[in-house]
Amino acid sequence: MSDNKKQEKDYTSEVDTLLPEAEALVMLGKLQEGLDKIFVLEKQTRNAADLTSTTRLAKAAVEHCYKASDFVLLNSTISTLSKKHGQLKGAIQAIVELAIGWLDEIKQTGGVPKWLEVVETLRSVTEGKIFLETPRARVTMLLAYYHEGLSTASTSTSAAQKESLQTACDLLADLQVETYSSMDRREKTEFILEQMRLLIAVARQKDAEQGKVGKDALGGGEAEWVKVRVGGRKINEEFLKAKDNEDLKLKFYDLMIQHALHQSNYLDVAKFYQKVWETPSIKDDTEDKGRAALEHIVYYVILAPHDNEQSDIMHHLYVDPALSKLDLHYNLVKCFITRELMRWPGIEAIYGEFLKKTPVFGSEKRWEDLHTRVIEHNIRVVAEYYTRITLTRLTSLLDLTAKQTEETLARLVVSGTIWARIDRPAGIISFRNKRSAEDVMNDWSSDMQKLLGLVEKTWMGMNAAQAAQSRVTKVSS
């Protein structure tokens, strides 16, 4: 296979003469004789490196097979032409692309079995050929869709459905389209997104089989979830910002949201919804998709554990004019922004009925997570205003039992959110770390500098006043 050989002869006139003769034989029902006639001249044009003539003859051969609906001979002809010694790359590429264009018609006229045979022939011909990597990827995509369709067919058994979905996923997973130089960026992105979508479908299927839920679950579809994360890193998010790629952007972030939810990574979910909301078509739809995206940002940012990034997102969200139009969500964010205690019974009474009707808080786990975030907020507020507090008093402020209070406090201390020590015999919690002698001296030095600065400022003020008074006295005398 090479196109580097210099053309030795132009067979255009011979091809122009031969093609009508071959077509006449085919019309008389002598398909094989017509093909043999084409193959004789095709060998000469191929050896002479006449790409144009070779391509015309190869395309004519496969067209005759297709028009005669002889799909067995079609597969044989495609395979034979592609394997001939010294076959030109352009000729192979031409017949492959021609056959791909017929696949839909073959499926309708010849049926699925014949369609599958042609697809497998094309996959066999294109295997291992870099110049055919894009056609191979497209054919493989069609085959994957076929197997995915089998996984949802009502006539299939449960085991067959699972096997078909796994087959579809494996077919696409074998394609490393991010390395294909002949494929444009949009098509690459579409392939990667389809890989991620099928991986998520397989992962959920395996999780459901083993009853595994969440990031802490071992086995199940965890391997597929990892591959989804890897696939997400292959997507160039800057490319998705283009207006023509909004559909890909929304699909990508939808898949990433599903992955983040599986990991219970609420902050990532909030950031992905923020990307969705920033899409012009979504942001302009203030009554439907835009409103829904903004609501989900609020829900997941308050569900996320407190850290600098979460706090920054929440404060930026709070001052956004769009949020002020959603009174309930605005007030909910305000509760977490304000350095005041939130009593859980009050939060439950005000927001519980509305929030539990949403898909986000329909899950009991997420409702418990919200309760946990309220408790953590209250502990941070207490730590800011108290240096020491009794365990009994803190328990009453948090509306928790003593055990629950200690567990939550310990978790926040371990995560580094606050500093605290519990004196269990005395029942006292201290929120201020014991200061070293160096810290005390530094504070004393700072205080002394401030004091000396005030003394100097006062002294200068007194001197100025005395000077002004002396001038007045001299003038009056």
User: Tens digit of pLDDT for each residue in 8-19?
Assistant: 888 889 989 999
Give the chain's mean pLDDT: 88
Q: Helix (H, G, I), strand (E, B), or coil: what is residue 219?
A: coil
Given a cut of 80, is residue 100 above it in pLDDT? Answer: yes
Q: Is 370 exposed, middle or buried (0-12, 13-18, 19+ CB in 10 A)?
A: buried
What pLDDT sits at residue 219? 62
Helical (H) or strand (E) element with 465: helix 437-476
Quote the percentage of the chain above a pLDDT of 70.
Answer: 95
Residue whose entry in the numeric block shows the structure tokens 């697809």:
119
Q: How confident is the model at residue 251 (pLDDT cuts 50, 70, 90)?
A: very high
pTM score over 0.85: no
Distances (CA, A) of 233 to 47, 175, 199: 47, 16, 15
Residue 221 is classified by DSSP as: T
Mean pLDDT of 346-362: 89
Mean pLDDT of 421-430: 84
Mean pLDDT of 31-38: 91
Given a cut of 90, is residue 252 above it in pLDDT? Answer: yes
The pLDDT tens digits of the residues spanning 175-210 come to 899 988 889 999 999 999 999 999 999 999 988 887
What pLDDT sits at residue 198? 94
Quote the percentage of the chain above a pLDDT of 90.
Answer: 47
For the record, the structure tokens of 342 come out as: 């939130």
Distances (CA, A) of 304 to 104, 138, 297: 48, 41, 11
CA neighbours closer than 13 Å in the CB half-sphere of residue 100: 21
What pLDDT sits at residue 207? 87
What pLDDT sits at residue 214? 56
What is the torsional sign of CA 100, 102, 106, 108? Answer: positive
Cα-Cα-Cα-Cα torsion 399, 403, 405, 407, nearest 10 degrees, comes to -140
Q: Helix (H, G, I), strand (E, B), or coil: what is residue 15?
A: helix
Beta strands in 343-440 (DSSP E): 388-390, 421-423, 428-430
106 neighbors 71 (Cβ within 8 angstroms): yes
Task: Name which residue leads in pLDDT, 440 or 339.
Answer: 339
d(CA 457, CA 453) in angstroms, rounded, equals: 6
What pLDDT sits at residue 451? 85
Q: Helix (H, G, I), strand (E, B), or coil: what is residue 429?
A: strand
Sorted by sequence, the CB contacts under 8 Å of residue 28 that are 6+ apart come out as none
Task: Name which residue leads in pLDDT, 446 or 189.
Answer: 189
What pLDDT sits at residue 258? 94
What pLDDT sits at residue 29? 87
Q: How confident is the model at residue 118 (pLDDT cuts 50, 70, 90)?
A: very high
Longest dimension (CA), the chain: 139
Given a cut of 80, is residue 271 above it in pLDDT? Answer: yes
Q: How confident is the model at residue 213 (pLDDT cuts 50, 70, 90)?
A: low
Alpha helix positions (H), 153-245: 158-173, 185-210, 222-233, 237-240
Given a cut of 70, is residue 4 above it in pLDDT? Answer: no
Mean pLDDT check: name the lowest of 18-27, 231-240, 288-297, 415-424: 415-424
Residue 422, φ and ψ in degrees, nearest 5 = -110, 125
Given a cut of 70, is residue 215 above it in pLDDT? Answer: no
Mean pLDDT of 263-283: 92
Q: Helix (H, G, I), strand (E, B), or coil: what is residue 430?
A: strand
Given a cut of 70, is residue 411 above it in pLDDT? Answer: yes
Mean pLDDT of 370-378: 90
d(CA 317, CA 332) in angstroms, rounded, equals: 12
For the record, the structure tokens of 328 come out as: 């309930």
Given a cut of 60, is residue 1 above it in pLDDT? Answer: no
Task: Name which residue leads in pLDDT, 125 or 209.
Answer: 125
Distances (CA, A) of 2 to 32, 55, 195: 28, 14, 33
Q: How confident is the model at residue 475 (pLDDT cuts 50, 70, 90)?
A: confident
Residue 423 is classified by DSSP as: E
Given a cut of 70, is residue 212 above it in pLDDT? Answer: no
What pLDDT sits at residue 170? 92
The pLDDT tens digits of the residues spanning 43-57 come to 999 999 889 999 999
Mean pLDDT of 309-322: 92
For the record, the structure tokens of 198 come out as: 């099928």
For the record, the structure tokens of 360 come out as: 């986000």
Spell out a b/e string for 58-68, using b for 16 or more CB atoms within 10 Å of the CB, else e.
bbbbbbbbbee
Q: Helix (H, G, I), strand (E, B), or coil: what is residue 388?
A: strand
For the record, the structure tokens of 13 come out as: 């006139």
